[in-house]
Amino acid sequence: MRPIALITLFLLAACSVERKAQKAFLRGEYQEVIEALSSKKISDAGKANYLIAESYRLSNRIKQAEPYYAKAGGRGVDRDSVQFFYAQSLKANAKYDDARKQLDELIKRTSNEALRNRAQLEYNGLAYLEKLREKPSYYRIKNLETLNTAQSEYNPVFLNNELYFTSSRGNGKLYAATGTPFTSLYKVASRGAIVDIATVAPLPSFINMPNVNNGCVTFSPDGRIMVFARGNTGKRKGGDDVDLYISRFRNGQWTEPQIITGGVNTPDFWDSTPAFSPDGRTLYFASNRKGGFGGTDLYSAQMDSRGRFSRVRNLGPEINTPGNEMFPYMAEDGKLYFASDGHPGFGGLDLFVVKRSGGRTVIDNLGEPVNSTGDDFGIFLFRPDRGFFTSNREGGKGDDDIYTFVNEDPDLKVVNYYLAGITYTPDKEGKLQILPNTKVSLIDNKGDVMQDYVTGNDGKFLFRVYENEDYTLIGESEGYLTKRQAYTTKGKGVDPRTLKELVTNITFDTIVVLDKIEINKIFVLENIYYDFNKYDINPAAARELDKLAQILIDNPEIKIELSSHTDSVDTEEYNMWLSQKRAESAVNYLVRKGISPDRMIAKGYGESRPIARNTNPDGTDNPAGRARNRRTEFKILEVGVIPKPLEDEEFDEDKYFRKKDGQ
């Protein structure tokens, strides 16, 4: 055969390999891409190196991507993104100076503003590492060698003297994205960090579906609800087909898992790494759904007493970055831990903790030795000073390994603050009676809902709060006026240095009183005063009217009469005129605050409706009585019907349910 024919055959074969690799890349079969392009001579070496590098990165192996990003290029390859990820791979291999050089060049050259900003954050983060290494560390870590294998073990969760974890041990078929076996959920008897390896066993087969990835499990505090991720079958485009499933422990066994509704899962996106809050009312998880701040973001969802999820919200830009945030975990002390490659770290995923201080969010890197240049994630504390985490750092037994840690900080003291309360309503005699089935919400100083609670027959509610913060409590119950009231923990905290115990719980007490909505029921507005002989709204009156405006906003179904009253000084005609002008001024003020004029009627009653004597029986003046008579009131005139918002479309299980697997 002539040389030209040999060259032609070689080029045809190379093109065939490239096309096959590109199709595998689009399907998320990254290991197949790596094997196909690494074993053949390719006509477009720059593009091949790019596909290999991206395949390593997208399958969580960015360390191996470094030499391929260094040679990546070619038509259709974005030079700027290659340089950015090249810097990240250098960082993952602890080549910090080289990474800093690549980022500096990218910042100066690129016209992509978003990428420039992200590169600047990475550049600043490298400088932060030097300061981080200067901070003392009290952590001691150890590989849990008795449990780890040559395969992957990760996401430890401790419950009722059993350690649950995810592992690729014991599975034969390989997952095309990583070239490693599919993962399943396991448990092992454990006394803290001491495991009985003879008891290792997989969860039931209807939990661990074959040939799919099953992983990242969490449990409600009572151990009766299990939420886990399942996905990555490889049957769909990419690796985003991951959803969260729920199973309940009934009659001594787990029920068949069902996909979670209520907005927790999003079709064609990655929803995984779940974790319940210590009270079991909030589910935290990670998702790469649209509308986030970067790759994967952290979200929360509320669970009601019937086990239904709703009110999914992004945790915001203080926690989420243009990078990836995942593996959330809320400890018993109310601190949120998570893994991120977007906050300043040593390389790959690092572990961080979120602390609240005076209403502010402070995020700290846990530092070395917990964090490394590898991926460090999946933390769980079985005691305030010790627990587990996952890492694929050098020196482990396998891919991902489970490690134990102890925090030997001599000043470690955990103080948990709680706000306990009872909801009441006054009866006809004004005596307080317990009001059950009331929704109470805790609002922070930014106006964000921190927690919800629906009281039982005892009217009791309980919230976790933090020291030196201002809150608003909102009470809501059908047929009652929605009530707002302030609560502060400022000046009520304790100095941890004065405590001897590792954990101290402090509970504050309060009550929330809701008034029943009744036609013609009158409410006196306290502390609304006018300057003598005037009817314009002064600052003191404005503050009180602002509270009424909030009541009308919170209770859009009511229409009121706003009335003004005087004492008996001056003539009846003048007092009637003055009180009418004052009532009209108050209504006009509320209109300027956004309240519809159709919901209010201004009425002046002058001195005609006193609630106290203006003079004493002997004819002398009664200043206290006159002060009570100079009042402003509102009376409920009508109670309308507010149209309910459209319910979310009913979940069509047959249409949406897909047997998936996940990590």
pLDDT tens profile 327-336: 999 999 989 9
Q: Rounded to an integer, what distance in angstroms lies between the CA atom of residue 216 and that of residue 165? A: 8
Q: What is the pLDDT at residue 415? A: 93
pLDDT tens profile 362-384: 999 999 999 999 999 999 999 99
- pLDDT at residue 2 greater than cutoff 50: no
Contact (Cβ atoms closer than 8 angstroms) between residue 28 and residue 177: yes
Q: Rounded to an integer, what distance in angstroms lies between the CA atom of residue 157 and that of residue 203? A: 14
Q: What is the pLDDT at residue 632? A: 87
248: which strand partners? 225
| For range 206-233, the mean pLDDT | 90
Q: Rounded to an integer, what distance in angstroms lies between the CA atom of residue 70 and that of residue 72? A: 6
- What does the block give as tokens for 174? 């390989």
Q: How confident is the model at residue 651 (pLDDT cuts 50, 70, 90)?
A: very low
Strands (E) in 460-584, as ranges, are: 460-465, 470-476, 483-488, 503-513, 522-525, 558-565
Q: What single string gives the DSSP state of each residue in 143-195?
A: E-TTT--SS-EEEEEEETTEEEEEE-TT--SEETTTTEEPPEEEEEEEETTEE
DSSP 661: B
Q: What is the pLDDT at residue 34? A: 87
Contact (Cβ atoms closer than 8 angstroms) between residue 358 and residue 469: yes
- pLDDT at residue 659 greater than cutoff 60: no
The yes-or-no answer to whether 3-134 and 522-639 have a common fold is no
Q: How confident is the model at residue 232 (pLDDT cuts 50, 70, 90)?
A: low
Helices 96-109 and 79-92, axial angle in degrees (round to 10): 160
- What does the block give as tokens for 60? 């969580």
Q: How confident is the model at residue 236 (pLDDT cuts 50, 70, 90)?
A: very low
My answer on whether omega of the bond before 410 falls inside 30° of 0, hence cis, is no
Other CB atoms within a 10 A radius of the CB of residue 366 amount to: 21
Q: Rounded to an integer, what distance in angstroms lies between the CA atom of residue 212 and that of residue 473? A: 45
| For range 127-151, the mean pLDDT | 92
Contact (Cβ atoms closer than 8 angstroms) between residue 460 and residue 424: no
First to last CA, the chain: 52
352: which strand partners? 338, 365
287: which strand partners? 271, 297
| For range 319-339, the mean pLDDT | 95
| For range 615-633, the mean pLDDT | 84
- pLDDT at residue 573 greater than cutoff 70: yes
Lowest-confidence segment of 125-129, 389-393, 570-574, 626-630 by average pLDDT: 626-630
Lowest-confidence segment of 125-139, 168-182, 583-597 by average pLDDT: 168-182
Backbone phi, psi, residue 437, to 5°: 55, 45
| For range 250-278, the mean pLDDT | 93
Lowest-confidence segment of 168-172, 286-290, 404-408, 613-617 by average pLDDT: 168-172
- pLDDT at residue 497 greater than cutoff 50: yes
Contact (Cβ atoms closer than 8 angstroms) between residue 119 and residue 107: yes
Q: What is the pLDDT at residue 180? A: 80
Q: What is the pLDDT at residue 40? A: 65
Q: Rounded to an integer, what distance in angstroms lies between the CA atom of residue 660 and that of residue 529? A: 66
Q: Which fold has domain 3-134?
A: 1.25.40
- pLDDT at residue 62 greater than cutoff 70: yes
SS3 state at 14: helix
Q: Write b or e for each residue in 482-509: b if 16 or more Cβ atoms lie within 10 A of its Cβ, otherwise e.
A: bbbeebebeeeeeeeeeeeeeeeeeeee
Contact (Cβ atoms closer than 8 angstroms) between residue 424 and residue 512: yes
CATH number of 414-513: 2.60.40.10
- pLDDT at residue 631 greater than cutoff 80: yes
Ranges of each domain in the chain: 3-134, 139-412, 414-513, 522-639
pLDDT tens profile 26-45: 888 888 888 888 876 676 78
Q: Rounded to an integer, what distance in angstroms lies between the CA atom of residue 224 and that of residue 210? A: 24
What percent of the chain is modeled with pLDDT above 70? 91
- pLDDT at residue 63 greater than cutoff 70: yes
CATH number of 522-639: 3.30.1330.60
- Average pLDDT score, the chain: 87
CATH number of 139-412: 2.115.10.20
Lowest-confidence segment of 82-86, 301-305, 338-342 by average pLDDT: 301-305
| For range 239-247, the mean pLDDT | 82
